[in-house]
Structure 1
Amino acid sequence: MKKIIFILMVLIFKLNFLQASELNFINNHNAVCNNGEQATFTIKKGNSNKWVIILPGGGVARNNDEYINRSQNMKEPEQKAHIFNQGIEKDLEKRDYNMVFIPYCSSDLFQGNHINLINNKEVPFKGRVIFESVIDQIYSKLKKADEIIFAGYSAGAIGIGFNAKKISEFKNVRIIVDSFWFDNETKKFYQDFEKKHDRSFLYRSSMKLCNDSWVSCFPSRENFEKNNINDVFLIWNIGDKYAKGVKDKEAIKIAIKKDIDFYNAGFSIEAEERKVSGFEDWGHVLAWDDKTYKKNYFNISLQEAVTNWMDKKSNTKVIEHFSKNEIKTKKKSNLYDGKYKFKLYRSSEENKTKIGNGKLEVKDGELFFLVKESKLKTGPKEFLKTAMISINKDGVLDGSIKLDILDDKDRSEYYHFNGKINKKIWGTSTKETFFKVYIEIKK
């Protein structure tokens, strides 16, 4: 018996070892980081024939000074295998994808293949060579794959756009780009910017591929359609610093919505109005941090939307765009700060049922349920922690909360509440049409 247990332990150890993250050197001797050392990448094998290739962000060097001021560890190869433990990576890993991570050590958005002279020293900018070499190294496996997701954030998202032609060599390709997207309005701004600014330091080796316009190679519907890539989940939020140059905010909202509707997949919220920071203000990179990836800001969370997309289910879009008038009315106010009592009701045409009560506090215009002093008859009272509700100077309460309003049913969903304090504040859900809910709040 002991012998059998020992053999089983050895087999389990071997299985875990085979599925551990492995650091690999890239075979192509031209695939080097800024410091001239051979670039590396990580593979973690999964139990499926699906693959995901991840390109991280990390800024860019557009000139000598920006390169000199970059951290040294951004110019050299990774020495340890990547651990897939951030936000969306964990959900991909759970789904048994073969995981590939290409570290960013070239300062060039994964698109360069040239040398820059910096302080009288030749510095390689070989991001495209690194990307293509990793793909070539696992090419035979990718050719046989049932599905390949190319996922990138910030600089990595841009890298996916610049490498769309190489990506298009495979079938069953899907794309996730977090926080860089050239909708029509953003594209117009950067086309005008391109005419006035020399970017040869950065894009010199890509200009021929991009038809003499680096803007055309950024991730966009036009670029992906040109390369026959049609399955895209885009994340591009209102207030992102890299779209700040677009002055017509209503036009950019329309343009983003148009692209998300085209793919029937994507995420775009009022990050600046909500003060959602991400890796940078506002809303720049949300899928690689659990705090922003799992949090519900409107309707459903980014995690719910993108995992629905991964699993090829419905409900894959989150679009929360305020009009100018809505932004004015949504401004928070501390006029109503203080502690209150609440009662929560489920209502139909025939009757109403109290399903919760307790206490809450309004602080700096934000509403917080005091969970320890509250009760929910249907669903766990921890749902009260999901509230994202504000109150303006006119006493209008607006926001959403996750609730399960039915007895003995596990059918939680988000309800959007809007109404004036001291009156019935009604909440609605796109999934529930028979029952409505409302909350009464009093001092």
Structure 2
Amino acid sequence: MRSFYSNQDDLKEMISDNCPAIISLNELGTVIPNKLIKQLFFSYNIYTKEGTNSHGGVVLAVDKKLKCHLIDMNEPNIIAVQTLINNKEYVIASIYSPPAERLPIKAMTTLLNQSKNIILIGDLNAKHQDWGCPGYQVNPKGRVLAEWLINHNLNVLNAGLKTSLRSDTTIDLLISTEIPESCECRTLPYTAALKLRVTVWQEVKRKRPSISPSLRILLRHKHYLQNRYRHTKHEEDRLRLRSWNYLVKHEFKSHRQRTWEQFISTVASPNPTSFWRTVKKLNKKKSVDFAALTEEKMVHKNPVNIVKCLTQHFTERHSPPKLDMMNSLDKEAYELWKLYSTADTDDIELVSHHSDLQFNIQDLKKTIGSLKNKNSSGFDHVSNKMIKLLPTHYVGYLRVRFEYYVGRFAQEVDQRETKVDQDRTRRALSFGSGPTRTKGGPR
């Protein structure tokens, strides 16, 4: 297992899917704290041993349901325990033998003397034809191990199963006194995934920077000056940062101006293709298509049902309000609208002009309190926030001014109508008293 830290997720997934009783890890890649390993294998008893090179180190994890005790081995790259499985005593060891080192034959023989039932698991880097390696790959460690297996009547249970990432060979061995025919060994998909992570590539849209390379260089140097002044606190660095900041602001302002001028020139181009290509960028993206519509606890997936649901929703939403005649306010509103529907339009307008509308302080306070707290203002340069911050005693002045303006507006309307009537009468009189043509000629 190369790089324990970067392959923890894969290891967790393998343990969750297969639920092994005993786990052996070799080639941890670096020194791993026991606390971290115990957090990963919280339901196992953890035994570790340091390695002799950068890839060394072994871990043996035994399920807490199994009774076991550690066998004292004063040798790196090897850890062993004695456990009881199905009322049968076993010695289980995890071994790693680096390619440039000899096999720990002496330690392996010592373990063999501990019990008749033994299971040796590990990356021994020993290649031989007896466990499925090609003949041209046989190495001295493989010959030594093959002879030792024959002398002690041991078997390789996973013979012929590829366990190497870089070649079609078997270097991770499972050695035992059991008969191969009575055991079942298999490799998981991507056995080498824990040694070298398989990268999954996903296509992403390329993001083009909105500013030019020269502006990016200016920003990078500004960040450098900021970090430098933050560490040194020198006056010289502060002045340099300040002057550079002014330069960056000026360049960005010029950049925005150039971009805007370029956009306007493109929009004003007589070429229709260039115009529509530019305007198209201003259009918002299309809304995402939806496949279903949820109505309370019901889900509509059929397009016909979706259309029916939306039709019913908007029909009810825009239907006339239902009035309760037992409610005095609804009854008064109904009678008022009934009078309006039967009255003449000119009469309604005349009554509205002579309205005796009155304001009170409570209505104004309620209206001002309902305003949203916005800083933006209109043509009068007065924002909602400014109105809401007015002192309370100012509301009385507002009420007086509102009543004054309403009365003045009604008075102006009356004067305007009176003037219009006078003009009409004057024109009628002038038309009636004007010259007329008779049979005898002009008077």
The two structures have a TM-score, normalised by structure 1, of 0.19
Structure with higher helix content: 2
Structure with higher strand content: 1
Greater Rg by CA:
2
Of structures 1 and 2, the one scoring higher in RCO (CA 8 A, sep 6+) is 1
